[in-house]
Amino acid sequence: MFCKHDNRGKPEPNTRDSSERAVVLNGPRLIVGLGNPGDEYRDTRHNAGFKVIDALAEKLGVNYWKIRDGALIGEVTFQGEKLILAKPQQFMNRSGSPVKGLCSHYGLTAADLLVIHDELDLPPGTLRLKVGGGHAGHNGLRSLHEKIGDDYNRLRVGIGKPEGRQPAADYVLQRLKGAGLMDFEVSIQQAAPIAIYAIEEGMDAAMSRYNGL
């Protein structure tokens, strides 16, 4: 099953020369943002993952996108290695199939995957990295678990919980405006460098640096 499990802590021998080893990335190579395609979902909380991917694309200079395995992807050479940004295009609750297809195409393991998603259980603006765990009712994560298991890296973008009796489904798909949208965009811009640090230095280093903030 892709993303296939890896033997963490037991890397295969590196046969590249010293100049190549100097730029090896320590973290994920496939960065997936979860969301729903279509302009009507652009400024919703549920599209936090898509928005962080867009922010990463701007920072990394990704300006060409193509469809592969049901996802919109952009490839860039980052510190000498290929990095793939992806936005599944089959709606949130079917995200697993495109991600599985990309893992298979690029021959990646769970350690190579970073999934960025909205998180009801974190206050708005809170950003947390995590390795593995449950889906907590998130339909995008549920789909991923069905297709690739749960042992993958995550960057959780806190959106808080709805007030009163508003259903969670309505809350996450509500279009943000004004100050609410501005605050949301701030957290998106703050998430991008955290993802880049995880890519460069690895999840353990990134969690140590950012999860206490």
Tokens of 17: 């020369």
| 70, 88 contact by CB (below 8 A) | yes
Q: Where are the domains of the chain?
A: 24-210
pLDDT tens string, the chain, 213 residues long: the values are 556 555 444 444 443 443 343 456 778 999 999 999 999 999 999 999 999 999 999 999 998 999 999 999 999 999 889 999 999 999 999 999 999 999 999 999 888 999 999 999 999 999 999 998 888 889 899 999 999 999 999 999 999 999 889 999 999 999 999 999 999 999 999 999 999 999 999 999 999 999 976
| Nearest partner of 162 among 46, 84, 66, 51, judged by Cα | 46
Residue tagged active-site, from 5, 46, 117, 135: 46
- The amino acid sitting at 143 is S
Question: Considering the domain 24-210 in this protein, what is its CATH number?
Answer: 3.40.50.1470
Q: Is 135 a catalytic residue?
A: no
pTM for the complete prediction?
Answer: 0.88
